[in-house]
Structure 1
Amino acid sequence: MPKTNPSSGFEETSDYSTLEVARRLGMAVRSVQLMVDRGELEAWKTPGGHRRIARSSVDAWLSRRGVPATEAQNVQQPLVRSLSRRPRLLLIEDSVHYQNLIAMLLGQQFPELEVHMAADGIVGLAMYGQLQPEFLLVDILLPGIDGATLITSLRSQPQFAGSRLIVITSLDAAQREPYAFALQDVPVVHKPRLVMDLPVLLREQLSMEAKA
């Protein structure tokens, strides 16, 4: 739970507002608030009731996930995609089996892609903000936040317009109904058909990206 006063020893001038953390991590403000509520980030409140988040806890959160703090500081800067680098694909999937299967497929059929992975929704949001990938593969059932909530959060960010999204899921059409609010007009791959359908969809996406 966030601390209710600055007696913890944090100096307000060295800490962040919730909005500043959201910009630094490339997340929605609500996602940062959830991280504070879960105790993933350490926070306190000023006498005026404004929440401040300890800079050290943000740096520690990034460090635990292998992200250099200096790299994350550039998230809020507009990204100019370099023509010299390979297109980036971010896979957000918690199953090691499907991580390995998709990595194998991509390595065999799409060697031109630079592939990155996240195993839960919160980390996926942070990595999206840092990487600004051209392609995004998202599972629906994820720890942290579910894929539909993650997609909704990403859509609130202007840079998401530059990414192409494919959803991968073990849920059948009926089981996906509660998540329909986020899946409209999004291509969905049912995991039992992943090997057959994902390469076809991804080639279509690559073709559209090349023409854009």
Structure 2
Amino acid sequence: METVLVVDDEQGILEALADLLREEGYRVLTASHGREALERMSELRPDLVLTDWMMPVLDGPALIERIRAEPNWAGVSLLCMSAVDVGALRAQYPGIPFLQKPFDIPALMKQVRKALDGKRALSG
């Protein structure tokens, strides 16, 4: 079973995403900010981190930087979501997929599957 870590400071969004992903058959971990996400990742390495971009304590860019700096987390897929214009973020952070908030469920699930399929392709 693939594990998805959902990181968002908005509790309603966090719970809705967690419920949706569980219904789709994923093991789901949750965190309300980046520092909590790093704690969860040290307990159980996820296959995918689905993170909000703007959060208190440790935001999306800082979380991604920490994940990429940790050799044990190499290969963890990333998917970011933001209410700000993701076109500019995509240009600034090439290689990281972004979802524009608000997004619809089919678009979210397509991106989650794409991120996890890419991970499987890399791991052989």
Q: Does 1:123 align with 2:33?
A: no
Residues 119, 135 of structure 1: alpha-carbon distance in 2 compared, 3 angstrom cutoff = same
Match of 1:192 in 2: 102
Query: Which protein is bigger by CA-based radius of gyration?
Result: 1
Q: State the SS of the aligned residue for 1:189.
A: strand
Match of 2:10 in 1: 95
More RCO (CA 8 Å, sep 6+): 2
Residues 198, 157 of structure 1: alpha-carbon distance in 2 compared, 3 angstrom cutoff = same
Structure 2: unaligned runs, 5 residues or longer: none
Aligned equivalents of 2:112, 2:33: Cα separation in 1:
22
Match of 1:140 in 2: 53
Give how far 1:174 is off.
6.1
Q: State the SS of the aligned residue for 1:206.
A: helix
Number of aligned residue pairs: give it: 122
Structure 1: unaligned runs, 5 residues or longer: 1-85
Aligned equivalents of 1:172, 1:105: Cα separation in 2:
25
Query: For residues 2-151 of structure 1, what are the structure 2 equivalents within 5 Å?
Result: 86-108=1-23, 110-111=24-25, 113-151=26-64
Aligned equivalents of 1:209, 1:186: Cα separation in 2:
13
Aligned-residue CA RMSD (Å): 2.1
Sequence identity (%): 25
Residues 175, 209 of structure 1: alpha-carbon distance in 2 compared, 3 angstrom cutoff = closer
Q: State the SS of the aligned residue for 2:103.
A: helix
Code of the aligned partner of 1:99: L
> TM-score if structure 1 supplies the norm length?
0.52
Match of 1:152 in 2: 65
